[in-house]
């Protein structure tokens, strides 16, 4: 999803119950409202389409309440909750949207919530538009430990909701980078957040309780890491997008009709970077990103290559593999 992702919440169940804890909607809404353009969301800018366009941002747009009272939802029920919100115009039909069905404590998802998964994402067509949506449940109660890293104390004093924050982040970035299961996943079938599930990196003691690994707005959160698709790949809680900078190269000249083995030095070189030479008669091959500061390449100078200075540029380029067949979902488990 290249355009900014629009986040929509659909609240289902009794969110005013004692088991839902204090200020559950406020905590989840604050998280979504402060996520866009954050170092945490920027991990998704390391994924792009074949033209190099990357996921730009995430914006919380709106929420609504589903008045359903069932305490046992099938996957089909969850799909209907989303389609009803759109067909009744409670929420807009937005091709850039990711719609989250957020269930209150005590609502079961019969396909395996708390036993096989904590959340999932998929898609359907509503009003002629492909709609991406996700289920994330609140597991507050005796089974919470299956879907929350902290069950006693948590950064916002609500372990069930703080656990949901981490799962929402997980499903959002998978929906953004693999919206219709023709996007990014590795050769083992793991989407980006699957590769870092239940990894949190460095944590600190949160003033509100428990531990956290990031602050968004005025709140602390403990959120699973994401796979940064750059510099060979790694799990991280943040990413600062950087532009490659070419500092020097050696040699700096060559003769017409020869091939020069060139070493380029600079900063922020990433796997998949390309090297281009301006002017006429010079081509580049065998580009190897040795590390973040070194690239080697062969410059072939044709016998009729233009004499004089030629511009040399290094550009980041990231692509995503295509899958052999569509999949319905990836689940989050411990």
Give me 208's structure tokens: 């509100």
Residues 6+ apart with CB under 8 A from 321: 184, 185, 187
Per-residue pLDDT of the chain (334 residues; tens, 9 = 90+): 988 999 999 999 999 999 999 999 999 999 999 999 898 999 998 898 877 788 778 999 999 999 999 999 999 999 999 999 999 999 999 999 999 999 999 999 999 999 899 999 999 999 999 999 999 999 998 889 889 999 999 999 999 999 999 999 999 999 999 999 999 999 889 999 999 999 999 999 999 999 999 999 999 999 999 999 887 889 999 887 667 889 999 999 999 999 999 999 998 787 667 899 988 999 999 999 888 889 999 999 999 999 999 999 887 654 333 333 333 344 433 2
Helix ranges (H only) for 223-293 are none
Spatial contact of 332 and 197, defined as CB atoms under 8 Å apart: yes
Q: What is the pLDDT of residue 322?
A: 33
How high is the pLDDT of residue 316? 66
* Distances in whole angstroms, Cα of residue 210 to Cα of each of 198, 213, 218: 16, 11, 16
Q: Which domains does the chain have, with CATH numbers?
A: 5-236 (3.40.390), 245-315 (2.60.40.10)
Beta-carbon contacts of 252 under 8 Å, excluding residues fewer than 6 positions away, are: none
Structure tokens at 96: 């850039």
**What 3-state class would DSSP assign to 249?**
strand
CA dihedral 176, 159, 227, 181 (to 10 degrees): -30
Q: Distance between CA atoms of 332 and 193, rounded to whole angstroms?
A: 9
Which helix (H) or strand (E) element contains residue 297? strand 294-301
> Chain centroid to CA 109: how far?
24
């Amino acid at each position: 999803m290249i355009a900014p992702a629009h986040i929509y919440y659909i609240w289902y169940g009794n969110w005013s119950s004692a088991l839902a804890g204090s200020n559950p909607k406020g905590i989840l809404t604050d998280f979504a409202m402060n996520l866009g353009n954050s170092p945490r969301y920027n991990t998704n800018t390391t994924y792009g389409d074949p033209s190099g366009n990357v996921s730009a941002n995430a914006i919380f747009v709106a929420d609504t309440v589903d008045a359903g009272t069932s305490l046992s939802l099938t996957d089909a029920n969850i799909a209907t909750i989303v389609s009803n919100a759109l067909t009744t115009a409670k929420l807009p039909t937005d091709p850039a949207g990711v719609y989250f069905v957020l269930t209150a404590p005590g609502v079961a998802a019969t396909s395996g919530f708390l036993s096989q998964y904590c959340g999932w994402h998929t898609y359907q067509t509503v009003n002629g538009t492909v709609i991406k949506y996700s289920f994330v449940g609140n597991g507050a109660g005796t089974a919470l430990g299956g879907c929350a890293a902290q069950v006693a104390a948590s950064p916002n004093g609500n372990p069930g909701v703080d656990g949901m924050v981490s799962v929402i982040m997980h499903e959002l970035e998978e929906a953004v980078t693999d919206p219709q299961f023709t996007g990014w996943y590795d050769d083992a079938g793991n989407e980006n957040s699957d590769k870092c599930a239940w990894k949190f990196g460095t944590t600190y003691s949160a003033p509100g309780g428990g531990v956290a690994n990031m602050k968004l707005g005025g709140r602390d959160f403990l959120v699973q890491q994401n796979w940064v698709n750059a510099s060979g790949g790694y799990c991280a809680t943040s990413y600062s997008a950087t532009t490659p900078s070419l500092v020097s190269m050696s040699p700096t000249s060559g003769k017409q009709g020869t091939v020069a083995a060139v070493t380029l030095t600079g900063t922020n070189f990433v796997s998949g970077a390309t090297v281009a030479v301006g002017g006429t008669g010079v081509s580049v091959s065998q580009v190897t990103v040795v590390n973040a500061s070194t690239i080697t390449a062969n410059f072939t100078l044709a016998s009729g290559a233009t004499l004089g200075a030629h511009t040399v540029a290094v550009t980041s380029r990231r692509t995503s593999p295509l899958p052999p067949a569509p999949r319905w979902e990836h689940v989050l488990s411990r």
